[in-house]
Amino acid sequence: MTDATVAQNLKVACSNCNLRELCLPVGFSPDDIDRLDEIVKNRRRVKQGDSLFNDGDPFTSLYAIRTGFFKTSVTTDDGREQVTGFQMAGEIVGLDGIVNEQHSCHAVALEDAEVCVMPFANVESLSREFPVLQRNVHKIMSREIVRENEVMMLLGNMRSEERIAAFLLNLVQRLHTRGFSKTELVLRMSREEIGSYLGMKIETVSRTFSKFSDLGIIEIKQRFVHIKDADALKKICNPQVC
Partner DNA sequence: CGTGGCCTTGAATAACCTCAATTAAGGTGG
Partner DNA sequence: CCACCTTAATTGAGGTTATTCAAGGCCACG
Residue 227 DSSP SS3: strand
* CA–CA dist 30, 174 (Å, integer): 29
* CA–CA dist 197, 34 (Å, integer): 39
Q: Which does 91 bind (CB under 5 to 8 A by kind): DNA, a second copy, none?
A: none
Could you tell me if 96 and 103 are in contact, meaning their C-beta atoms sit under 8 angstroms apart? yes
Shortest reach from residue 25's CB to a second copy, in Å: 13
Q: Which DSSP category does 60 fall into? A: -
Question: From residue 153 to residue 192, what is the string marking binding to DNA with x (rule CB under 7 A)?
Answer: ------xxx----------------------------xxx
Shortest reach from residue 173's CB to a second copy, in Å: 16
Is residue 21 at the binding interface for a second copy, with CB under 8 A as the rule? no
* CA–CA dist 6, 167 (Å, integer): 23
Is residue 74 at the binding interface for a second copy, with CB under 8 A as the rule? yes
Q: What do you get for the CA distance between the two ends of the chain, in Å?
A: 33
Closer residue to a second copy (CB): 1 or 152: 152
Q: Which amino acid is at 126?
A: L
Could you tell me if 31 and 109 are in contact, meaning their C-beta atoms sit under 8 angstroms apart? no
Which member of 2, 99, 222, 231 binds a second copy (CB under 8 A)? 99
Is residue 50 at the binding interface for DNA, with CB under 7 A as the rule? no
Is residue 22 at the binding interface for a second copy, with CB under 8 A as the rule? no
Q: Count interface residues toward DNA (CB under 7 A).
A: 21
Could you tell me if 137 and 123 are in contact, meaning their C-beta atoms sit under 8 angstroms apart? yes
Which member of 138, 143, 223, 226 binds DNA (CB under 7 A)? 223
Which member of 13, 191, 199, 230 binds a second copy (CB under 8 A)? 199
Which member of 145, 179, 214, 221 binds a second copy (CB under 8 A)? 145
Beta strands in the chain (DSSP E): 42-46, 51-53, 61-75, 81-88, 92-93, 106-119, 184-186, 218-221, 224-227
Would you tell me which residues interact with DNA (CB under 7 A)? 159-161, 190-192, 199-207, 209-210, 220-223
Would you tell me which residues interact with a second copy (CB under 8 A)? 74, 76-82, 84, 95-100, 104-105, 124, 127-129, 131, 134-135, 137-139, 141-146, 148-153, 155-157, 196-199, 238-241
